[in-house]
Amino acid sequence: MKGARLFFLAAVFACGATPSAWSDELTETPTTFPVTIGGTTLRLEGFVIRKSDARGRLPIALLTNGGAATATGGAAATSAAYAHYARDLARRGWLAVVTLRRGFGSSEGPKPTPLACQAASFDAWATAAADDLQATIDSVSQRPDADAGRVIVIGSEIAGVAAVALSARNPRGLLGVVSVSGGLVSETSCPMNDILVDGYRKFGTGSRVPNLWIYSRSDKIFAPDLADRLHTAFLDAGGDVKFVMFFHDGNVGTPIFGQATAAWYAQMDGFLRAKNLPTWGVADIKDVVDRLKIADRMERDDLQGHLAQHYFSSPGEKALAFSPTLQAAWVRPQNKTFAEPRPPVTYQTGSKTLDDARAGALASCQKVAQDCAIVMENLHWVGDLR
Amino acid sequence: MISQLCTKAVAAAMAVIMSLALTTSAVSGDLIQEWQYLRVAIDGKAVRLEAMFVKRADARGKLPIVFFNHGRPAFNEMTLDHSLTGNDPGITLLADMARRGWLAVAIHRRGFGLSDGPMQSDAPCAVDTYMSWMNADADDIQASIAAVARRPDADPTRMIAMGGSAGGAASLALGARNPPGLMAVVNIAGGEHWAGCAALRDSIPIDFRNLGSRSRVPNLWLFAKNDQNHPLDQIEVMRAAFAGAGADLKLVLFEPIGEDGHSGMYSIAGRTQWLVELDNFLRAHNLPTWPLSSVDTALQTLQWPQSWRAYVQAYLAAPGEKALARTLNKQNANYQTALTLDDARKQALSVCQQKGERCVIVMENDRPAGSQ
């Protein structure tokens, strides 16, 4: 296994930058996507991340700049800010693509303009945003490693609206949309909600793409009442949406995307599995428990749940440490009413670098045991303990 | 976020059944299986829930409804992988009820599978927590009643709620609300369990007295004596509080089933035992199940003397998918239950033929072989 881990292809950068790899298994390629929108050819800023050793055509996961509530917000957006999300998707088996819509970053095209609280203004914005996403997908589809028949689009706040707008067109190959805190307000605080609800009703009339929408009950910008109205309008019109309103885990207000990443990843992963799309699965967790040679049924169940809850969905960079001493310390009780196995693993997730994650996971483990070793880096097994 | 809301519900059962059930989610040709989203309203808000319906293919008119409620896995993330047909309740349990004449309905409560989310009941360990979980679960079932009632094949004046583990607890909470049309509650190994939450020691008598004082529908509780989630002394506390508060309760305790009688209730050995008790309970309350006259019909069809009566009755009560194999001279027979009818046939033939005589399949589920 170790040999496989160390094997990676040198990253090739279209812009001639110095090759680098964040984790040893990913290839990152900054790219300018040549797109044609409304007869005009221009270039959009973005990049592509994939597993270096992946073979054949990979399904496309498209992320676009969001994290802002208005059409003109997030003017300082960079594609690099989405790199760690893209890496997490690449590790799940996707050709992860980040694109900045027209006028953002170094993407060409007109700068976005403030929205008037009129349906025509919203419709024009939504059409343009969906055009940008469709054009990027068309461009990426030309790559020999892209499977244009399997595409998902993910966005937060205004980018969530863009993704839902794209789903209303039922583009070929689009199999799912994930909208996190999806919504839009006007720059001038004029009343936008009714227009947004009407817009979502129109989206729902056309859309037959499975949608996953995630909101937070404490969201002050896209409050639960608005989210419920968008949801009802979309459903009433015939749209297909799984609606998740966080009230405990993930209840962080508007910034779920960045501040409750593990929570929405867990929802996304379940959605992807239900649609038979790539991500980690229960079999992967069982595989880790097998490799750790844990035999007791109760211990296995407990560790599987522990890994599902705390490690697999969590964002990278991350690492998992294991200690045989920790495992041996737990003695199976007579009944399981009041005794739980102690997990024989420690972990650190959401780190800046893999080295940080490794060091953190080891340090936690070494507080209580001497025989700790890193057994997973991100979603890769690297242990060769026994 | 360390939120180990580990009810440990039927996690073990699921792990076992899930691994087996990946190969099949189909039912035999005598049943119709239907998957759909239910659009329900909870607290005035739109909620979409996944639902599975199973009924006899030859059913006509409006059928009584059984809501079969799933349990909770130990960890929240695993709820998204929950499968109604695969692990809990599993297609074979739904099929057992469908063959008894019911429109069997299993919904994914919020937070499970592709139903909206997240899971509603995730309050931290405290004395009022478990009741809040049970009520949140009951909300989803109650809301789905209205959607199911609109089906032309559903008779909402005759409903029962049953479920295993946390699904049994949810059924109890629903029963305590006495919704119109609810005729009975069947609780399979369900109660309050949360490993490491000592507050449950205090909450169990309070909650079960509360539930018992409100419940006006007959209850059947089914537990194995080696339930690792619910030790015998805890079952007695639940029983005494519930019945003591005036509820109509029949408690049946089974001898130990497997390593853990909690998950053991969903094993073939477990189902074989509790289906007999369930049939008795349903008959006692004039609720549908297979008619005892079927024993005479089967004896006639199979040209078997009365000496085979008990054997045939046990076969008819047994869980499906099942098949009955018999030697050509009718002197020896064997029946087996498996996840698929095909496996049941093979296993029954194999055991029947162990003494060297050729056997043929004479019954498949509740019908003579070849009649499907």
Alpha carbon distance A100, A81 (integer Å): 11
pLDDT at B78: 82
Whether B165 and chain A come into contact, CB under 8 Å, resolves to: no
- The DSSP H or E segment spanning B362 is strand B359-364
pLDDT at B102: 98
Contact: A243, B116; criterion CB under 8 Å: yes
Contact: A246, B118; criterion CB under 8 Å: yes
Alpha carbon distance A317, A7 (integer Å): 19
Whether B199 and chain A come into contact, CB under 8 Å, resolves to: no
Partners of B73 on chain A (C-beta within 8 Å) are 305
Q: CB-based contacts of A167: which residues, under 8 Å, 6+ apart?
A: A153, A174, A177, A203, A207, A209, A211, A239
Contact: A273, B15; criterion CB under 8 Å: no
Alpha carbon distance B41, A227 (integer Å): 15
Contact: A242, B46; criterion CB under 8 Å: no
Whether A360 and chain B come into contact, CB under 8 Å, resolves to: no
Whether B1 and chain A come into contact, CB under 8 Å, resolves to: yes
Identify from B14, B80, B115, B120 which residue to disrupt to test chain A contact, counting A C-beta atoms within 10 A and taking the largest count: B80
Please name which of B289, B278, B274, B319 lies closest in space to residue B96, comparing C-alpha atoms: B319
Asked casually if ipTM beats, i.e. exceeds, 0.90, the reply is: no
Q: CB-based contacts of A16: which residues, under 8 Å, 6+ apart?
A: none
Confidence of residue B196 (pLDDT cuts 50, 70, 90): confident
Whether B48 and chain A come into contact, CB under 8 Å, resolves to: yes
At position B340, the amino acid (one-letter code) is: T
Alpha carbon distance A299, A280 (integer Å): 21
Partners of A248 on chain B (C-beta within 8 Å) are 3, 118, 122
B22 has a pLDDT exceeding 90: no
| Secondary structure (DSSP) of B37-89 | EEEEEETTEEEEEEEEEEEETT--S-EEEEEEE----SSGGGGGG--TTTTSS
Whether A339 and chain B come into contact, CB under 8 Å, resolves to: yes
Q: What is the residue-level pLDDT of chain A in tens, covering all 386 positions? A: 333 322 222 222 333 333 333 445 899 999 999 999 999 999 999 999 999 999 999 999 999 999 999 999 999 999 999 999 999 999 999 999 999 999 999 999 998 899 999 999 999 999 999 999 999 999 999 999 999 999 999 999 999 999 999 999 999 999 999 999 999 999 998 999 999 999 999 999 989 999 999 999 999 999 999 999 999 999 999 999 999 999 999 999 999 999 999 999 999 999 999 999 999 998 999 999 999 999 887 788 889 988 998 999 999 999 999 999 988 887 776 655 556 677 899 999 999 999 999 999 999 999 999 999 999 999 999 987 43
Whether A247 and chain B come into contact, CB under 8 Å, resolves to: yes
Whether A340 and chain B come into contact, CB under 8 Å, resolves to: yes
Shortest Cα–Cα distance, A13 to chain B (Å): 37
Contact: B2, A273; criterion CB under 8 Å: no
Whether A277 and chain B come into contact, CB under 8 Å, resolves to: no
Partners of B75 on chain A (C-beta within 8 Å) are 305-306, 308-309
| Secondary structure (DSSP) of B154-177 | EEEEEEEEEEETHHHHHHHHHHTT
- Please list, residue by residue across B214-237, b when 16 or more beta carbons sit within 10 angstroms of its beta carbon and e when fewer do: ebebbbbbbbbebbbbbbeebbeb
CB B320 within 8 A of CB B92: yes
Partners of A267 on chain B (C-beta within 8 Å) are 80, 117-118
pLDDT at A337: 57
B110 has a pLDDT exceeding 50: yes
Contact: B75, A308; criterion CB under 8 Å: yes
Size of interface A-B (CB pairs under 8 A): 111
Confidence of residue B77 (pLDDT cuts 50, 70, 90): low
Partners of A250 on chain B (C-beta within 8 Å) are 118
Q: What are the strands, taking DSSP E only, across chain A? A: 26-37, 40-51, 58-64, 95-99, 146-156, 174-180, 211-216, 241-246, 319-322, 345-348, 373-377, 380-381
Contact: B195, A336; criterion CB under 8 Å: yes
Nearest-Cα residue of chain B relative to residue A309: B77
Contact: B77, A313; criterion CB under 8 Å: yes
pLDDT at A109: 95
Partners of B6 on chain A (C-beta within 8 Å) are 305, 340
Q: Could you say which residues from 202 to 261 on chain B have a Cβ atom under 8 Å away from some Cβ of chain A?
A: 228-229, 231, 234, 259
Residue A122, helix vs strand vs coil: helix
pTM, two decimals, is 0.90
Which phi and psi (to 5°) does residue B247 adopt?
-75, 155
pLDDT mean over B101-107: 98
Contact: B113, A308; criterion CB under 8 Å: no
The overall average pLDDT reported for chain B is 90
pLDDT at A48: 98
Partners of A310 on chain B (C-beta within 8 Å) are 2
pLDDT at B86: 83
Structure tokens at A376: 């997973």
Residue A375, helix vs strand vs coil: strand
pLDDT at B197: 83
Contact: A339, B196; criterion CB under 8 Å: yes
Contact: A274, B259; criterion CB under 8 Å: no
